């Protein structure tokens, strides 16, 4: 008989970022099905689902409900950094662990969170290092008006300026807003070399549609001369964009069809892949260890399964490959692949290939 282990699943199936949530949920459920059907594994996960419906005020209470009313100590979920930060106090009180499966802005290392997708040294910084020599150092920054947009643009601003570049504009929209006209007009006036898009959901879709229209009206704003860069847009959102996504350049640990991580099947996007990998990582810690499901994250990461894990026991971030890809003909085509990089949430380690600004020399 397999040990039945309840596992919380906390994703919004409606709201501004539901396409990402559905991709993550698909990865979780496919991994659960695979583990439960594996005769070599002595555990079977029982999903305990809660749906906040895109309401930020429900994440904390629903996470608390999972941890209070079931035996689940681990929760896979949350899409926005806002929602992740809403559940951390609940996890701290109840001794639970969140497995977070989407890219984020870094500068966090909670004792109660495992980060299985990329942070800035695995997405934003390699993307800028690649893009600035190719297109130039005059950037325009956009973002949704919360921590993801703020921090991504702060890091981009610091990186571009340190490389001798300029920030020609920086604008934010409330989550869900489609008021992109002012951004587009500023882009038309300033003529940047590239645009960093850190908008989410419908705001991003409307912005990309407007950028596509601008590029068709004036080739100087097309992807060959002024590409839009993204660190969070994946294949799961391409159906909402169609041809308007053409030319978009993105960074991530996986794109559909790319070999390698996580190596367990063809995934529709890196969101799905990271969620699938998270469940398998957790299963690796719990399998053949009765009672391990009640251990803390620190205990799991110090246990016998830690040596085979890609998760850093100090930061709880995952070592991931870095891929840069462009939408061509409705799908991402990989332009560059880099070796796996350990997550460095506080950017304390030296980086190979970092873009450099003008050199200084001593004169007398």
Nearest CA-CA partner of 32 in 6, 12, 50 = 6
**15 with 125, same domain?**
no
Strand locations in the chain (E): 3-10, 43-50, 74-77, 97-100, 113-115, 138-144, 166-173, 194-198, 228-230, 249-252, 320-328, 331-341
Give a yes or no: residue 351 inside a domain.
Answer: no
CA distances to 83, 105, 145, 205 from 177, rounded to whole Å, are 19, 21, 10, 10
Q: What are phi and psi of 4, to 5 degrees?
A: -90, 120
**60 with 171, same domain?**
no
Bridge partners, residue 341, by sequence: 320
* Torsion 262-266-271-272 (CA) sign: negative
Give a yes or no: residue 159 inside a domain.
Answer: yes
**27 with 74, same domain?**
yes
User: CA-CA distance, 118 to 252, in Å (whole number)?
Assistant: 7
The model's pTM = 0.95
Is omega for the bond preceding 262 within 30 degrees of 0, making it cis? yes
The CATH number of the domain where 305 resides is what?
Answer: 3.40.50.2300
Give a yes or no: residue 36 inside a domain.
Answer: yes
**114 with 190, same domain?**
no
**pLDDT on residue 16:** 87
User: CA-CA distance, 229 to 353, in Å (whole number)?
Assistant: 19
**62 with 153, same domain?**
no
Task: State which H helix or E strand residue 216 sits in.
Answer: helix 201-217
User: CA-CA distance, 221 to 224, in Å (whole number)?
Assistant: 8
**193 with 262, same domain?**
no
315-324 core/surface letters (b: 16 or more CB in 10 A; e: else): bbbbbbbbbb
User: CA-CA distance, 209 to 201, in Å (whole number)?
Assistant: 13
**pLDDT on residue 263:** 72
**pLDDT on residue 354:** 64
User: CA-CA distance, 135 to 183, in Å (whole number)?
Assistant: 20
Residues 6+ apart with CB under 8 A from 163: 128, 132, 137, 355, 356, 357
The count of other CB atoms within 10 Å of the CB of residue 346 is: 13
Give a yes or no: residue 362 inside a domain.
Answer: no
**201 with 334, same domain?**
yes
* 10-residue averages of pLDDT along the chain (364 residues): 97 93 97 97 98 97 98 98 97 97 98 98 98 98 97 98 98 96 98 98 97 97 98 97 97 93 85 97 97 96 93 97 97 96 95 52 36
**pLDDT on residue 260:** 85
**204 with 336, same domain?**
yes
Bridge partners, residue 325, by sequence: 250, 334
Query: In this structure, are residues 124 and 155 in contact, taking their beta carbons and an 8 Å threshold?
Result: yes
Q: Lay out the sheet containing 138-144: strands in order across.
A: 166-173, 138-144, 194-198, 228-230, 249-252, 320-328, 331-341
Show the domain range for 50. 3-118+258-319
**pLDDT on residue 350:** 83
**79 with 201, same domain?**
no
**164 with 33, same domain?**
no
**110 with 228, same domain?**
no
Identify the DSSP state of 80. Answer: S
Give a yes or no: residue 278 inside a domain.
Answer: yes
**Residue 31, SS3?**
helix
The alpha carbons of the chain give a radius of gyration, in whole angstroms, of 21
Give a yes or no: residue 275 inside a domain.
Answer: yes
How many domains does the chain fold into?
A: 2
**pLDDT on residue 109:** 96
**60 with 24, same domain?**
yes
**Residue 64, SS3?**
helix
Give a yes or no: residue 355 inside a domain.
Answer: no
Give a yes or no: residue 297 inside a domain.
Answer: yes
Task: State which H helix or E strand residue 63 sits in.
Answer: helix 59-69
**pLDDT on residue 169:** 98
């Amino acid at each position: 008989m397999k040990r039945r282990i309840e596992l919380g699943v906390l994703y919004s199936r409606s709201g501004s970022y539901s396409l990402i949530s559905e991709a993550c949920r698909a990865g979780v459920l496919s991994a659960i099905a695979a583990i439960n059907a594996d005769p070599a594994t002595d555990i079977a996960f029982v999903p305990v689902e809660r749906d906040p419906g895109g309401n930020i005020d429900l994440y904390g209470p629903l996470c608390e409900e999972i941890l209070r009313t079931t035996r689940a100590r681990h929760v896979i979920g949350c899409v926005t950094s806002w929602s992740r930060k809403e559940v951390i106090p609940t996890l701290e009180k109840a001794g639970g662990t969140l497995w977070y499966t989407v890219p984020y802005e870094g500068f966090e290392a909670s004792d109660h969170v495992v980060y299985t997708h990329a942070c800035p040294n695995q997405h934003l910084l390699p993307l800028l290092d690649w893009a600035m020599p190719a297109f130039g150092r005059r950037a325009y920054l956009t973002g949704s008006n919360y921590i993801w947009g703020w921090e991504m643009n702060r890091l981009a601003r610091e990186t571009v300026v340190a490389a001798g570049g300029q920030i020609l504009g920086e604008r934010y929209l409330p989550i869900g807003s489609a008021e992109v006209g002012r951004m587009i007009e500023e882009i038309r006036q300033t003529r940047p070399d590239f645009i960093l898009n850190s908008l989410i959901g419908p705001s991003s879709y409307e912005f990309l549609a407007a950028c596509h229209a601008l590029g068709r009206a004036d080739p100087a704003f097309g992807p060959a001369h002024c590409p839009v860069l993204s660190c969070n847009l994946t294949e799961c959102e391409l159906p909402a964009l169609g041809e308007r996504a053409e030319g978009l350049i993105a960074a991530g640990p996986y794109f559909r069809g790319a070999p390698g991580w996580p190596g367990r099947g063809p995934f529709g996007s890196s969101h799905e892949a990271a969620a699938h990998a998270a469940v398998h990582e957790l299963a690796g810690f719990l399998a053949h260890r009765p009672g391990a499901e009640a251990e803390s994250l620190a205990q799991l990461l110090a246990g016998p399964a830690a040596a085979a894990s890609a998760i850093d026991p100090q930061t709880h971030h995952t070592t991931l490959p870095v891929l840069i890809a462009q939408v061509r003909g409705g799908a991402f085509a990989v332009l560059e692949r880099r070796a796996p990089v350990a997550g460095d949430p506080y950017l304390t380690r030296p980086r190979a290939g970092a873009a450099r600004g003008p050199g200084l020399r001593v004169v007398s």
